[in-house]
Amino acid sequence: MLQHTRTPSRPSASTLDLPVFDDGPLAQGREFVWSDADFSRIKALIYKKAGISLHDGKHAMVYSRVSRRLRETGHTSFKSYLDALEQHDGPEWQEFINALTTNLTAFFREQHHFGVLEEMLAARRSHNWKIWCSAASTGEEPYSIAMTAAETLGASGSFHIVNSDIDTKVLATAARGVYKADGVKGLSPERLQRHFMRGKGANAGLMRVKPELQKHMEFMTINLIHDLPFREPFDVVFCRNVMIYFDTATQRQVLERIHRVMKPGGMLFVGHAENFSDARSLFTLRGKTVYERI
């Protein structure tokens, strides 16, 4: 059933057999009318709120994710939903951001970083380490950092890890520290025994991070395009596979904020596809996707 009628624009000679609409494409079988105008509006809103820069190849992803919010909120069109979003400064803004945030993670992803971190920690075992994981997602990265610190520094080691994300739902999962057994199958039996508790009965098939590891963790919602709330500087910052969602200007602003909350000589770990050669006044490359704070 069509929700409204649109007037086709004048076709070109090469498209005589296909209708072209002034307000953008309408794919058959879609639940909601979807236009270029809707995409452009969403693109502008997520850039303003989270600094995320969406390119035109993200039409299908954006439609799929935001249409879930239409169903949840009872709206019948993207225009209606976006109008309501902009008219109220309420909790739906966070749901909108959550919907458009990509969370791809795994334990000890980009393994070489943890070898570098281990060397750093081993060189100063008596130091009170302060670490920030700025894109914690569902927790696999933060707990990989924590396991590395615990194993390197030993029982007497002192470390505190602040874990943040803009997506409140994935951050809640990280704070719980409970994973399906399939999700931790890449960890060695020794690590599983040392750092996890195996669920029994109703919790069979689940693994929970032990309190001995979780006591080092702090979780908070942080938007990287806003001023950062930290008072004490960090020795280490993980900000991996985040900058790829920002344009060049936003990347620079975020790097400047990170620079301000790090100790001179501190290490910044970034994603495999990220390069900050234009930020030489802030960071110096010290290894594969590892930068030292100047």
Which residues are marked as active site? 65, 165
Residue 146, φ and ψ in degrees, nearest 5: -65, -40
Q: Degrees (nearest 5) of the Cα angle 235, 238, 244?
A: 140
Nearest-CA neighbor of 89 among 50, 49, 62? 49
Angle formed by the axes of helices 168-176 and 92-99, to 10°? 80
Q: What is the DSSP string of 230-294?
A: -SSPEEEEEE-S-GGGS-HHHHHHHHHHHHHTEEEEEEEEE-TT---GGGTTTEEEEETTEEEE-
Coil, helix or strand for 49? helix
